[in-house]
Structure formats: C-alpha cells, structure tokens
Amino acid sequence: MMLSIRNLHAEIEGKPILRGLSLEVGAGEVHAIMGPNGSGKSTLAQLLAGRDVYKVTQGEVLYDGRDLLAMPADERAREGVFLSFQYPVELPGIANSYFLKAAMNAKRRHHGRPELDAMDFLTVARAKMKLVGLSEELLHRSVNEGFSGGEKKRNEIFQMALLEPRLAILDETDSGLDIDALRTVAEGVNSLRSPERAMLLITHYQRLLDYVVPDRTHVLAGGRIVRSGGPELALEVEERGYKSMEEHNAPGA
C-alpha cells in the first residue's frame, strides 16, 4: 500500500476533528473523499501534507511503509506528497517561475539529481502549462498574486504536473470553478493519472467526479469514513444528500 491511514484521531486546540479514520490507497488508484462541511475533509488533507497545527492523538499514517507523521512538511513534499490547496496562497514579489524552479530543484537535490537551469526549466514549464491552459505570462507574475480563482486552481494543477508527485491530494480543486475551467482542470488531472501515482480527490460536490472518475469513493462524516464504494456512491450522495448517511452511520452508532 502506498498510503495506510489507521485509526487516525486528530484535534485542533483541543477540539477533536478526526475520530478513528482508516483508509488504504494503493499506487495508481484514485480515491474520492466526499463529505459535508465540517466533516474533517480539509483537516485530513492538510494533516497528510504536514501542517503542524493539528495534533494527532491516536493512530498512524504510513507512506510507503514509512511513518509519514514523523516527517516534516518539506520532506514529505520532496518524497512526493503534493497538496493542491483549496485556497492557494499569494507570495508577493516572487515570480511564479522562480518559485517553481526552486521547488523542482529542492526535490531534484533531494533525490540526487542535477538541478535544472532557467532554460531547462522554461522548456519543461511551457509544455506543462499547455496541459492546464495557462498562458505563459503567468510564469512571470508573482505567485498567485492577482490571479483569478480559476487561474489559482489551474496553477495548482500546473505545479502538480511539474513536481510529478507520487501521492497527490486535491483539496476542493473544483470549488469556485466555472464549468469550462472545471473541464480544463479535470483534463489536466486525468492526464496525470498513472500506475505509479495515487490521488485523493477531496470534494463537497459530485460534479468533479463526472469528469475524473474515481476508483473508490468514501463518505466522511464526523471525522471518520462512514461509507465506501465505487464511483456510483458519489451519485447516491448527490441524490440523497449526506444527511441520510450521517444518520445511519453516526460515530459510535
């Protein structure tokens, strides 16, 4: 298993958010995690990526058999964990190209590969930008500064394409996108599916899953997974809402 989450409990400022979450994700698999607001979806995404505001009180997370929680965020990233942020952060004054080259080279150094120079980087970047329909001009603007909502999300997928993660976590990548942008992003994500790469799609709505069809779908409620199934589960959520699932599968029930 690439990712094994076992009985994970986590809290923030003493408030429990995750309460016994377990999940197994193998290489090449795409899992969708759906859930209502406050179910712990974003906590799970951020915690896996290494945000240290959450306190794990029980359970473990193994990434390729290694203790993921023991690794600092930057090391996780260099080891191939990527988070597409729900709210990408602006970095004023730092050119997107500079930032991405630094990120790519941090990873390359970590794996003992030679660093890319500016020319190599541009060649790679140009090719990958086409994937998500971003104009090259965005490379020269400050990271996410003044980007539209859609540009920010596409920029995340562009970064994912560049950094070629093994485990990609997409946190509400579909939120705030109009239908055309959603389709472009979905195409980008689909093109990055590969037998070596696992993906976790975290979403509130089913609509992204029309375009990126997951291998497995899970419903998260009250900090744990209450239902798991195939792609059809997403449709059931869409039809019947989260309410019914929460009622039948409340934690401790």
Partner 1 sequence: MSGGQDARQLVESGEYKYGFVTDIESDIAPPGLSEDTIRLLSAKKNEPAFLLDWRLKAFRAWCKMSASDGEPKWANLTIAPIDYQAISYYAAPKKKEALASMDEVDPELRATFNKLGIPLDEQMLLAGVAVDAVFDSVSVATTFKSKLAEVGVIFCSFSEAVQNHPELVKKYLGSVVPISDNFYAALNSAVFTDGSFCYIPKGVRCPMELSTYFRINAQNTGQFERTLIVADEGAYVSYLEGCTAPKRDENQLHAAVVELIALDHAQIKYSTVQNWYPGDKEGRGGIYNFVTKRGKCAGAHSKISWTQVETGSAITWKYPSCILQGDHSVGEFYSVAVTNNHQQADTGTKMLHLGKNTSSTIVSKGIAAGQGQQSYRGLVYVAPGAEGARNYSQCDSLLIGDRCGAHTFPYIDVRNPGAQVEHEASTSKIGEDQLFYCQQRGLSAEDAVSLIVNGFCRQVFRELPMEFAVEAQKLLGVTLEGAVG
When the beta carbons of 109 and 243 are compared against partner 1, the nearer one is: 109
CA angle 164, 117, 163 (to 5 degrees): 10
Among residues 91, 116, 124, 213, which is the contact residue for partner 1, using CB under 8 A? 91
Report the site for partner 1 in 93-122 (rule: CB under 8 A): 93-94, 99-100, 102-103, 106-107, 110
Among residues 27, 73, 122, 124, which is the contact residue for partner 1, using CB under 8 A? 73
- Give yes or no for a contact between 211 and 233, defined as CB atoms under 8 angstroms apart: no
In whole angstroms, the minimum distance from the beta carbon of 69 to partner 1 comes to: 15
In whole angstroms, the minimum distance from the beta carbon of 52 to partner 1 comes to: 8
User: Which pairing describes strands 167-171 and 224-229: parallel, antiparallel, or unpaired?
Assistant: unpaired
In whole angstroms, the minimum distance from the beta carbon of 15 to partner 1 comes to: 18
The position carrying tokens 């607001």 is 37
Report the site for partner 1 in 185-224 (rule: CB under 8 A): none
Tokens of 158: 């562009």
Provide the mask over 35-64, with x wherever binding to partner 1 is found by CB under 8 A and - wherever it is not.
Answer: --------------xxx-x-----------
Q: Is 69 in the site for partner 1 (CB under 8 A)?
A: no
Provide the mask over 152-191, with x wherever binding to partner 1 is found by CB under 8 A and - wherever it is not.
Answer: -------x---x----------------------------
Site size for partner 1, by CB under 8 A?
29
Q: Is 88 in the site for partner 1 (CB under 8 A)?
A: yes
In whole angstroms, the minimum distance from the beta carbon of 211 to partner 1 comes to: 25
109 — phi, psi (to 5°)? -60, -45
Q: In the complex, which residues of this chain contact partner 1 (CB under 8 A)?
A: 49-51, 53, 72-74, 76-78, 82-83, 85, 88-89, 91-94, 99-100, 102-103, 106-107, 110, 142, 159, 163
